[in-house]
Amino acid sequence: MHLSTPLVLQSGARIANRIAKAAMEESLARQPGQLPGPEIEELYASWARGGSGLIITGNVMIDRRALTSPGTIVLDAETDLAPFRRWAAAAGSEGGQVWMQINHPGRQVRSDLPGIAWAPSDIGVSLGKHTSVFARPTAMTEADIQATIGRFATTARLAEESGFHGVQIHAAHGYLLSQYLSPLVNHRTDQWGGSLENRSRMLVEVVRAVRAAVSPGFTVSIKINTADFQRGGFDVDEVEQVLASVADLGVDLVELSGGSMESAATMGRTADDRKLDREAYFLEIAQRLVASAPMPLMLTGGIGRRSSAEKVLTSGFAMVGLATALALHPDLPARWAEGDDIEVAALRLNWRDKDIASAGVLAVVRAHMSRISRGLPPRARTSAYLALIRDTLRNRGLTRNYGRWLSQNPAPEVTMPLSG
């Protein structure tokens, strides 16, 4: 198997090669309305030209009241679909597959954002001296749970109507569905907590509702952690069981990643002191899932060399996900296909405060994407310090604009009844 080998999924989707542009939050929403605009179209047209067989968008929020950041895009029942149709067309302009990642942040909502912060239980994000950055969550009621399942289904249906070829349900990185899976965050004693069967019920019901809301030829995928990398958290043994539980629900591909806000494994560090490889961070721990998984697997995390990507494939994974490497070199897959062995080293900051360092890395990645979105090449020597300051100042204005819009445009009600 080579990086250039096509892949055909159960849905019938044909992916031209084994390289996926994995999700990265662009923070480029147009306001008012939290909509994709010309900047998003330019960014995704660049990635389309870059040669990835599959493009997965940054996370799109299913509920306008709950954002991962004030620059995040929202798609719900009252959203104008025209900008999304243009986005899908730009991302698919070279004939590749385009999937929308759909997400609810749960408790990982900043405390300065209006709206809601929900979680399975009222347990907040713990970041030491930075804990106050995130809102204290409210434990979800049964009605909240059912409405959220319905919102996932609505956003998936609207993604299909807008011209996307599939969705990726985000159940990783400490967001809402990941919170339900985690025994550290989910302390519920009803059907949504306790045993793994109960903790995975939210994900199972979301998958079931999404699959029912879209056509058979529309691809449904999941992104899930190989582990939370926290002592006592969701781990690879449980991942194996969850994959088996969704096997018959029409899941076409599963992307494996790891970590959360409390354990930034996607930055190459963990809260439980487990050592990760310098590249392909999750390869060793995820490899045991290859033999048992009932669907094709994709591995993402710290991959920036062609040899590393090829190693992932020879280890039995169906797809390789590239993220930050494509923010710096959007044409990396095409260059590899032409025989160019260009390497992209993972960005690391040796700052004393590791949480601020993680934020600095993300700010640099967003700075690269912002330049591409304006038709400019990424700047390799971008100051993380300045990028973080610019991000902070920009987010203040975006937060004010979002608050005004949300106060004038409350979230639509969910009318479709769904049972748990």
pLDDT tens digits along 90-143: 999 999 999 999 999 999 999 999 999 999 999 999 989 999 999 999 999 999
Query: Is residue 239 domain-resident?
Result: yes
User: What is the number of structural domains in the chain?
Assistant: 1
Is the pLDDT reported for residue 275 higher than 50? no
Residue 258 and residue 266 in contact, taking contact as beta carbons nearer than 8 Å: yes
Q: What confidence score (pLDDT) does residue 230 get?
A: 66
**Containing structural domain, residue 209:** 7-408
Beta strands in 43-173 (DSSP E): 54-56, 60-61, 97-103, 118-119, 138-139, 166-171
What's the CA gap between 227 and 173, in Å, rounded? Answer: 9
What's the CA gap between 229 and 274, in Å, rounded? Answer: 7
Query: Is residue 345 domain-resident?
Result: yes
Q: What confidence score (pLDDT) does residue 281 get?
A: 78
> pLDDT-based confidence at 268, cuts 50/70/90?
very low
Residue 360 and residue 15 in contact, taking contact as beta carbons nearer than 8 Å: no
> pLDDT-based confidence at 263, cuts 50/70/90?
low
Q: What confidence score (pLDDT) does residue 262 get?
A: 67
Q: How far is CA 312 from CA 1, 22, 371, in A?
A: 11, 15, 30
Q: What confidence score (pLDDT) does residue 343 get?
A: 93
Query: Is residue 2 domain-resident?
Result: no
- The most distant pair of C-alpha atoms in the chain lies apart, rounded to whole Å, by 55
> pLDDT-based confidence at 274, cuts 50/70/90?
very low
Q: What confidence score (pLDDT) does residue 347 get?
A: 86
Neighbours of 295 (CB within 10 A): 17
> Helices 38-49 and 82-91 sit at what angle, rounded to 10 degrees?
20
Query: Is residue 414 domain-resident?
Result: no
Query: Is residue 420 domain-resident?
Result: no
pLDDT digits (tens, 9 = 90+) for 28-86: 999 999 999 999 999 999 999 999 999 999 999 999 999 999 999 999 999 999 999 99
> pLDDT-based confidence at 266, cuts 50/70/90?
very low
Q: What confidence score (pLDDT) does residue 233 get?
A: 79
Closest Cα to residue 17, out of 2, 4, 35, 36? 4
> pLDDT-based confidence at 159, cuts 50/70/90?
very high
Query: Is residue 380 domain-resident?
Result: yes
CATH number at 284 reads 3.20.20.70
Query: Is residue 417 domain-resident?
Result: no
Q: What confidence score (pLDDT) does residue 404 get?
A: 98
Taking the chain, what is the end-to-end CA distance rounded to the nearest angstrom?
41
Query: Is residue 419 domain-resident?
Result: no
Burial class of residue 127, CB neighbours in 10 A (0-12, 13-18, 19+): middle
